[in-house]
Amino acid sequence: MSSVHAQQRNPLQKIGQTVLDEPAQSYRFERFVIDSADHSRRWRVNVGVPVAPGKVPAPALYMLDGNAAAMVLDQAMLGELAAKAAPVLVFIGYDNDLRVDSAARTQDYTAWIDVADDESGKTVSSGGGAFQFLDMIERQIKPEVEKRARIDPQQQSLWGHSLGGLFVLSTLYTRPAAFQHYIAASPSLWWSQGAPQRDMEKQFIDNRRGQPAQLTVMLGGDERSGNRGVRDMTNPRVVAHLRRIGGATPDAAWQLSQRLGELPGLQVGYREFPGLGHGPMLPASLKATLSQLYGIADRSASPTAADRAAD
Protein backbone atom coordinates (compact mmCIF):
# COMPACT_ATOMS: atom_id res chain seq x y z
CA MET A 1 0.00 0.00 0.00
CA SER A 2 1.40 3.41 -0.92
CA SER A 3 1.91 6.10 1.69
CA VAL A 4 -0.72 8.22 -0.06
CA HIS A 5 -3.41 5.61 0.30
CA ALA A 6 -2.29 4.75 3.83
CA GLN A 7 -3.35 8.25 4.89
CA GLN A 8 -6.81 8.17 3.33
CA ARG A 9 -9.76 6.11 4.49
CA ASN A 10 -11.70 4.06 1.99
CA PRO A 11 -15.30 5.32 2.36
CA LEU A 12 -16.65 2.05 0.93
CA GLN A 13 -14.71 -0.32 3.19
CA LYS A 14 -16.79 -3.29 4.36
CA ILE A 15 -16.95 -4.52 7.92
CA GLY A 16 -16.08 -8.16 7.21
CA GLN A 17 -16.19 -10.79 9.96
CA THR A 18 -15.89 -9.62 13.56
CA VAL A 19 -16.43 -10.99 17.05
CA LEU A 20 -20.14 -10.40 16.44
CA ASP A 21 -20.11 -13.31 14.00
CA GLU A 22 -18.03 -15.74 16.07
CA PRO A 23 -19.31 -18.43 18.47
CA ALA A 24 -19.97 -17.11 21.95
CA GLN A 25 -17.09 -17.50 24.37
CA SER A 26 -16.98 -14.90 27.13
CA TYR A 27 -19.69 -12.76 25.48
CA ARG A 28 -22.82 -13.52 23.54
CA PHE A 29 -24.26 -11.00 21.12
CA GLU A 30 -27.85 -10.09 20.42
CA ARG A 31 -28.97 -7.85 17.58
CA PHE A 32 -31.95 -5.61 16.93
CA VAL A 33 -32.74 -3.05 14.24
CA ILE A 34 -34.56 0.28 14.51
CA ASP A 35 -36.03 2.24 11.60
CA SER A 36 -35.92 6.01 11.41
CA ALA A 37 -39.34 7.68 11.46
CA ASP A 38 -39.12 8.50 7.75
CA HIS A 39 -37.65 5.04 6.92
CA SER A 40 -34.65 6.70 5.29
CA ARG A 41 -32.11 4.64 7.32
CA ARG A 42 -31.90 1.78 9.77
CA TRP A 43 -29.74 1.46 12.86
CA ARG A 44 -28.30 -1.94 13.72
CA VAL A 45 -27.55 -2.37 17.40
CA ASN A 46 -25.47 -5.28 18.67
CA VAL A 47 -25.51 -5.92 22.41
CA GLY A 48 -22.67 -7.85 24.01
CA VAL A 49 -23.72 -9.56 27.24
CA PRO A 50 -21.24 -11.54 29.38
CA VAL A 51 -21.95 -15.26 29.17
CA ALA A 52 -21.53 -15.39 32.96
CA PRO A 53 -23.10 -12.11 34.12
CA GLY A 54 -22.33 -10.82 37.58
CA LYS A 55 -24.76 -10.73 40.47
CA VAL A 56 -25.07 -6.95 40.37
CA PRO A 57 -26.18 -4.66 37.54
CA ALA A 58 -23.42 -4.15 34.98
CA PRO A 59 -21.81 -0.98 33.65
CA ALA A 60 -22.53 -0.29 30.00
CA LEU A 61 -20.50 1.22 27.19
CA TYR A 62 -22.43 2.68 24.26
CA MET A 63 -20.25 2.97 21.14
CA LEU A 64 -21.03 5.02 18.05
CA ASP A 65 -19.88 3.84 14.61
CA GLY A 66 -20.77 0.41 15.94
CA ASN A 67 -19.67 -1.48 12.82
CA ALA A 68 -16.19 0.03 13.00
CA ALA A 69 -16.03 -0.43 16.77
CA ALA A 70 -16.80 -4.15 16.43
CA MET A 71 -13.75 -4.51 14.18
CA VAL A 72 -11.50 -3.34 17.02
CA LEU A 73 -12.37 -6.04 19.54
CA ASP A 74 -11.12 -9.62 19.60
CA GLN A 75 -11.78 -12.64 21.80
CA ALA A 76 -8.78 -11.92 24.05
CA MET A 77 -10.11 -8.46 24.86
CA LEU A 78 -13.61 -9.80 25.44
CA GLY A 79 -12.28 -12.48 27.76
CA GLU A 80 -10.39 -9.93 29.82
CA LEU A 81 -13.40 -7.62 29.96
CA ALA A 82 -15.61 -10.47 31.17
CA ALA A 83 -13.09 -11.36 33.87
CA LYS A 84 -12.81 -7.77 35.08
CA ALA A 85 -15.83 -5.44 35.18
CA ALA A 86 -17.97 -7.49 32.75
CA PRO A 87 -19.55 -4.44 31.10
CA VAL A 88 -22.42 -4.68 28.66
CA LEU A 89 -21.18 -3.57 25.24
CA VAL A 90 -23.56 -1.71 22.94
CA PHE A 91 -22.50 -1.18 19.31
CA ILE A 92 -24.73 1.40 17.60
CA GLY A 93 -24.16 1.12 13.86
CA TYR A 94 -26.10 1.18 10.63
CA ASP A 95 -27.90 -1.78 9.11
CA ASN A 96 -25.48 -2.34 6.24
CA ASP A 97 -22.05 -3.87 5.65
CA LEU A 98 -20.11 -0.58 5.62
CA ARG A 99 -17.45 -0.02 8.24
CA VAL A 100 -18.50 3.65 8.35
CA ASP A 101 -21.68 5.01 6.78
CA SER A 102 -20.48 8.56 6.10
CA ALA A 103 -23.77 10.06 4.94
CA ALA A 104 -25.87 8.62 7.77
CA ARG A 105 -23.41 9.47 10.56
CA THR A 106 -23.00 13.01 9.22
CA GLN A 107 -26.72 13.52 9.69
CA ASP A 108 -27.01 11.78 13.05
CA TYR A 109 -23.89 12.91 14.86
CA THR A 110 -24.08 16.67 14.27
CA ALA A 111 -26.21 19.18 16.14
CA TRP A 112 -25.27 21.96 13.75
CA ILE A 113 -26.00 22.27 10.03
CA ASP A 114 -22.82 22.69 8.00
CA VAL A 115 -22.74 24.64 4.74
CA ALA A 116 -19.66 23.98 2.64
CA ASP A 117 -18.44 23.34 -0.89
CA ASP A 118 -18.15 19.68 -1.90
CA GLU A 119 -15.52 18.19 -4.21
CA SER A 120 -17.31 19.53 -7.27
CA GLY A 121 -17.46 23.07 -5.87
CA LYS A 122 -21.19 22.88 -5.22
CA THR A 123 -22.43 24.40 -1.95
CA VAL A 124 -24.27 21.79 0.11
CA SER A 125 -25.88 21.69 3.54
CA SER A 126 -25.62 18.65 5.79
CA GLY A 127 -26.09 17.51 9.36
CA GLY A 128 -28.29 18.75 12.16
CA GLY A 129 -29.87 15.49 13.33
CA ALA A 130 -28.09 14.94 16.64
CA PHE A 131 -31.04 15.76 18.90
CA GLN A 132 -33.33 13.33 17.07
CA PHE A 133 -30.62 10.68 17.20
CA LEU A 134 -30.13 11.19 20.94
CA ASP A 135 -33.89 10.91 21.45
CA MET A 136 -33.77 7.59 19.64
CA ILE A 137 -30.93 6.34 21.84
CA GLU A 138 -32.71 7.38 25.02
CA ARG A 139 -36.24 6.28 24.09
CA GLN A 140 -35.66 3.22 21.94
CA ILE A 141 -32.14 1.82 22.16
CA LYS A 142 -31.58 2.05 25.92
CA PRO A 143 -34.94 0.42 26.84
CA GLU A 144 -34.28 -2.38 24.35
CA VAL A 145 -30.79 -2.97 25.76
CA GLU A 146 -32.21 -3.08 29.28
CA LYS A 147 -34.52 -5.90 28.24
CA ARG A 148 -31.45 -7.97 27.44
CA ALA A 149 -29.15 -7.12 30.35
CA ARG A 150 -29.19 -5.67 33.85
CA ILE A 151 -27.65 -2.23 33.48
CA ASP A 152 -26.43 -0.03 36.29
CA PRO A 153 -28.00 3.35 35.39
CA GLN A 154 -25.18 5.14 37.22
CA GLN A 155 -22.40 3.49 35.19
CA GLN A 156 -23.24 4.30 31.59
CA SER A 157 -20.57 5.59 29.22
CA LEU A 158 -20.67 6.98 25.68
CA TRP A 159 -17.71 6.75 23.29
CA GLY A 160 -17.43 8.35 19.86
CA HIS A 161 -14.69 9.24 17.40
CA SER A 162 -14.49 12.19 14.98
CA LEU A 163 -18.08 13.28 14.25
CA GLY A 164 -18.98 10.70 16.89
CA GLY A 165 -16.77 12.59 19.33
CA LEU A 166 -18.67 15.73 18.42
CA PHE A 167 -21.94 13.95 19.21
CA VAL A 168 -20.52 12.93 22.59
CA LEU A 169 -19.87 16.60 23.36
CA SER A 170 -23.28 17.85 22.22
CA THR A 171 -24.90 15.16 24.38
CA LEU A 172 -22.86 16.31 27.38
CA TYR A 173 -23.79 19.92 26.68
CA THR A 174 -27.53 19.33 26.39
CA ARG A 175 -28.28 16.23 28.51
CA PRO A 176 -25.39 15.73 30.92
CA ALA A 177 -27.36 13.18 32.96
CA ALA A 178 -27.85 10.83 29.97
CA PHE A 179 -24.49 9.18 30.69
CA GLN A 180 -21.99 9.38 33.51
CA HIS A 181 -18.79 9.21 31.46
CA TYR A 182 -18.30 10.82 28.07
CA ILE A 183 -15.34 9.91 25.86
CA ALA A 184 -14.81 12.28 22.93
CA ALA A 185 -12.03 10.99 20.68
CA SER A 186 -10.68 13.39 18.04
CA PRO A 187 -13.93 15.42 18.08
CA SER A 188 -14.63 17.28 14.83
CA LEU A 189 -14.68 20.76 16.34
CA TRP A 190 -14.18 22.24 12.87
CA TRP A 191 -17.75 21.30 11.91
CA SER A 192 -19.91 24.19 10.72
CA GLN A 193 -16.98 26.62 10.70
CA GLY A 194 -16.21 25.94 14.34
CA ALA A 195 -19.76 26.41 15.66
CA PRO A 196 -19.30 23.67 18.32
CA GLN A 197 -16.73 25.89 20.02
CA ARG A 198 -19.04 28.87 20.10
CA ASP A 199 -22.73 28.26 20.50
CA MET A 200 -23.52 25.17 22.54
CA GLU A 201 -20.28 25.06 24.49
CA LYS A 202 -20.76 28.65 25.63
CA GLN A 203 -24.34 27.95 26.72
CA PHE A 204 -23.15 24.88 28.62
CA ILE A 205 -20.46 26.84 30.43
CA ASP A 206 -22.75 29.78 31.18
CA ASN A 207 -25.58 27.57 32.48
CA ARG A 208 -23.54 24.91 34.25
CA ARG A 209 -25.23 23.93 37.50
CA GLY A 210 -22.88 21.21 38.70
CA GLN A 211 -24.52 18.05 37.27
CA PRO A 212 -21.79 15.46 38.00
CA ALA A 213 -20.19 13.97 34.91
CA GLN A 214 -16.84 12.80 33.62
CA LEU A 215 -15.37 13.75 30.26
CA THR A 216 -12.29 12.29 28.64
CA VAL A 217 -10.94 14.04 25.55
CA MET A 218 -8.53 12.05 23.38
CA LEU A 219 -6.42 13.37 20.51
CA GLY A 220 -3.67 12.05 18.29
CA GLY A 221 -0.31 13.76 18.58
CA ASP A 222 -0.18 14.27 14.82
CA GLU A 223 -3.64 15.81 14.96
CA ARG A 224 -2.60 18.35 17.56
CA SER A 225 0.57 19.28 15.66
CA GLY A 226 -1.35 19.65 12.40
CA ASN A 227 0.60 16.85 10.70
CA ARG A 228 -1.93 15.32 8.32
CA GLY A 229 0.55 13.04 6.61
CA VAL A 230 0.72 12.43 2.88
CA ARG A 231 -2.47 13.46 1.10
CA ASP A 232 -3.43 13.07 -2.52
CA MET A 233 -4.05 16.70 -3.38
CA THR A 234 -5.25 15.69 -6.85
CA ASN A 235 -8.30 14.11 -5.21
CA PRO A 236 -11.11 16.72 -5.05
CA ARG A 237 -12.69 14.98 -2.06
CA VAL A 238 -9.46 15.31 -0.09
CA VAL A 239 -9.04 18.96 -1.02
CA ALA A 240 -12.64 19.77 -0.05
CA HIS A 241 -12.23 18.02 3.31
CA LEU A 242 -8.99 19.81 4.16
CA ARG A 243 -10.69 23.12 3.38
CA ARG A 244 -13.58 22.28 5.73
CA ILE A 245 -11.47 21.23 8.69
CA GLY A 246 -9.82 24.64 8.70
CA GLY A 247 -12.74 25.73 10.89
CA ALA A 248 -10.78 24.82 14.03
CA THR A 249 -7.14 24.91 15.06
CA PRO A 250 -5.38 21.53 15.30
CA ASP A 251 -5.17 21.79 19.10
CA ALA A 252 -8.84 22.78 19.55
CA ALA A 253 -9.66 19.59 21.46
CA TRP A 254 -6.83 20.21 23.93
CA GLN A 255 -7.98 23.80 24.38
CA LEU A 256 -11.52 22.53 24.97
CA SER A 257 -10.35 20.19 27.72
CA GLN A 258 -8.65 23.11 29.46
CA ARG A 259 -11.78 25.28 29.35
CA LEU A 260 -14.18 22.58 30.52
CA GLY A 261 -11.78 21.42 33.21
CA GLU A 262 -12.53 24.59 35.14
CA LEU A 263 -16.25 23.81 35.54
CA PRO A 264 -17.60 22.62 38.90
CA GLY A 265 -18.82 19.04 39.03
CA LEU A 266 -17.22 18.10 35.71
CA GLN A 267 -14.17 15.86 35.88
CA VAL A 268 -12.16 16.33 32.70
CA GLY A 269 -9.25 14.21 31.53
CA TYR A 270 -7.12 14.67 28.43
CA ARG A 271 -4.99 12.03 26.76
CA GLU A 272 -2.76 12.49 23.74
CA PHE A 273 -1.48 9.62 21.60
CA PRO A 274 2.00 10.40 20.21
CA GLY A 275 2.43 9.88 16.50
CA LEU A 276 -1.20 9.07 15.73
CA GLY A 277 -3.32 10.84 13.14
CA HIS A 278 -7.09 11.04 12.87
CA GLY A 279 -7.90 7.64 11.35
CA PRO A 280 -5.76 5.47 13.66
CA MET A 281 -7.31 7.25 16.64
CA LEU A 282 -10.55 5.29 16.25
CA PRO A 283 -9.14 1.91 17.31
CA ALA A 284 -6.55 3.42 19.65
CA SER A 285 -9.09 5.53 21.54
CA LEU A 286 -11.56 2.65 21.90
CA LYS A 287 -8.88 0.32 23.27
CA ALA A 288 -7.74 3.05 25.66
CA THR A 289 -11.34 3.60 26.75
CA LEU A 290 -11.85 -0.07 27.56
CA SER A 291 -8.66 -0.02 29.62
CA GLN A 292 -9.52 3.22 31.42
CA LEU A 293 -13.09 2.27 32.27
CA TYR A 294 -12.77 -1.44 32.98
CA GLY A 295 -9.17 -2.13 33.93
CA ILE A 296 -8.04 -4.37 31.07
CA ALA A 297 -4.60 -4.08 29.50
CA ASP A 298 -4.12 -0.96 27.41
CA ARG A 299 -3.65 -2.18 23.84
CA SER A 300 -3.89 1.27 22.24
CA ALA A 301 -0.21 1.26 21.24
CA SER A 302 -0.48 -2.17 19.59
CA PRO A 303 -2.38 -1.88 16.31
CA THR A 304 -3.72 -5.12 14.87
CA ALA A 305 -3.90 -6.03 11.19
CA ALA A 306 -7.59 -5.09 11.30
CA ASP A 307 -6.73 -1.67 12.75
CA ARG A 308 -4.21 -0.99 10.00
CA ALA A 309 -6.65 -2.09 7.32
CA ALA A 310 -9.25 0.33 8.71
CA ASP A 311 -7.00 3.42 8.63
Mind telling me the catalytic residues?
A: 162, 223, 278
Contact 211, 176 (CB under 8 A): yes
E strands in 128-265: 151-161, 181-185, 213-220
Say how many C-beta atoms besides its own lie within 10 A of residue 221's C-beta.
14
C-alpha of 293 from chain center: 15
Q: Is the sign of the CA dihedral 2, 6, 8, 14 positive or negative?
A: positive
DSSP-assigned letter for residue 140: I
Residue 27 pairs in a beta bridge with 50
Strand order in the sheet with 181-185: 27-35, 42-50, 88-94, 58-63, 151-161, 181-185, 213-220, 266-273
Q: How far is the C-alpha of 254 from the C-alpha of 261, rounded, in Å?
A: 11
If phi over 0 gives left and psi between -120 and 50 gives alpha, with beta otherwise, what is residue 16?
Answer: left
Q: Which residues contact 135 (CB under 8 A, 6 or more apart)?
A: none
Say how many C-beta atoms besides its own lie within 10 A of residue 136's C-beta.
18
- Give whole-number Cα distances, 205 to 75, 111, 170, 174, in Å: 41, 17, 12, 11
